[in-house]
Amino acid sequence: MIFTSASEPDFGGKMPHLLCAPGDIAPVVLLPGDPGRVEMFPKLCDDFRILSRNREYTVGSGTYRGMPVTVCSTGIGGPSTEIAVLELIALGAKALIRIGGTGAIKEEIACSDIILNTAAMRMGGASQFYAEPEYPAVASFETVECLKQACEEEHLRCHMGICASVGSFYRGQGRTPPGQRETDERNVLEKYRRLNILNLEMEAETIFTLASLYGVYSGSICTVHCNRMTDQWLLDNEDSQRQMCKAALSGALLLYKKYLQEK
C-alpha cells in the first residue's frame, strides 16, 4: 500500500515504532538500551508481560509493589532513543529513567559500582535538533534524589556527577575502529577527564534534554561495566545489571509515591 502526504499510515491507533497504544504505557518508564534487558523484568515485577517487539524496541509492562511500570529498550545512541522517548511521552509517560551499563573514566570508580548522572555533556545526540548547544541536559532533581535514596537503602557504592553522551562509539570515545591501528585513546579520554566527567555513554543527553523540553521527569542509573583508565572489565555483568535494576525499581517507586501518584 502506498500513502501520500495527505494520508499518513494508520497503525491501528498505535505508535509507529513502539507499536503501543494509549493505556499500554505506565507513568514511570525504565529505558535500557539492550532489548534483552527487558526480559529480566518478569522476575523482578508482578504481572509483567511483553507488549511489543519491533526493531530495537521491546516494550513490557507490569507492576512493582503496586506501582505500574513500563520497560522499553531504546537501542544504541541518540536517534533510536529520540524515537522511543517522544513516542512514550505521547503515550502518557511522566518519568523516564535510563538504566544500563557504562564505562567509567575515573580510576577510583570500580566495576559494578553505580553511577547516577546528574547531567550530560551533549556530544552529538539527537537533542541538537531540539535545542541550542547552550541548553543544558540535566536530570530531574526529584529523580536523582529518589535514585540516590534507593542506592543508599540497598547499600550500593554510588557515584554522582556528569557524563558525556557521545554520538560515536569508537573514535568519539577513544576506541580504535576495528581493523585499524591508529589510536589517540588517551588524548580523547583526557579531554573528558579535564572536565571532571565521570563516565561515557550514548543516550542520557537525549533523554534529559527531551524530558526537560516536554515537562517530564528524567534520570539515569547505570552499573559500571569497565574502567577505561585502569583497563578493568566486568565480563559477566548479569548480577550487577540485576542489582542495578532492583535499585532503579526502588527509586522509581519512591518517585511515583512522592511526585507522581495522585494524592
Residue range 204-222: mean pLDDT, rounded = 98
Residue range 207-220: mean pLDDT, rounded = 98
Residue range 98-112: mean pLDDT, rounded = 97
pLDDT at 8: 52
Q: For residue 32, what are the CA distances in angstroms to 18, 58, 99, 175? A: 14, 10, 5, 23
Residue 7, pLDDT > 90, answer no
Give catalytic status of residue 87 as yes or no: yes
Give the pLDDT confidence of 110-162 residue by residue, as tens digits.
Answer: 999 999 999 999 998 799 999 999 999 999 999 999 999 999 999 999 999 99
Contacts of 133 (CB under 8 A, 6+ apart): 122
- For the chain, the average pLDDT equals 94
**Out of 53, 171, 175, 242, which one is annotated catalytic?**
175
Give catalytic status of residue 228 as yes or no: yes
Residue 179, pLDDT > 80, answer yes
| In the block, residue with C-alpha cell 537525549 | 206
Give catalytic status of residue 175 as yes or no: yes
Domain boundaries, the chain: 28-260
pLDDT at 34: 96
Full DSSP string of the chain:
----TTSPPP-TTS-TTT---TTSS-SEEEE-SSHHHHTTGGGTSEEEEEEEEETTEEEEEEEETTEEEEEE---SSHHHHHHHHHHHHHTT--EEEEEEEEEE-STTPPTT-EEEEEEEEEES-GGGGTS-TTS-EE--HHHHHHHHHHHHHTT--EEEEEEEEES-SSGGGT-PPTT-----HHHHHHHHHTTT--EEESSHHHHHHHHHHHT-EEEEEEEEEEETTTTEE-S--HHHHHHHHHHHHHHHHHHIIIIIS--
Give the pLDDT confidence of 23-57 residue by residue, as tens digits.
Answer: 999 999 999 999 999 999 999 999 999 999 999 99
Fold of 28-260: Rossmann fold (3.40.50)
pLDDT band at residue 181, thresholds of 50, 70 and 90? confident
**Out of 87, 201, 203, 205, which one is annotated catalytic?**
87
Under a CB-based contact definition with an 8 Å cutoff, are residues 227 and 210 in contact? no
Residue 6, pLDDT > 50, answer no
pLDDT at 11: 80
**Out of 17, 37, 122, 159, which one is annotated catalytic?**
17
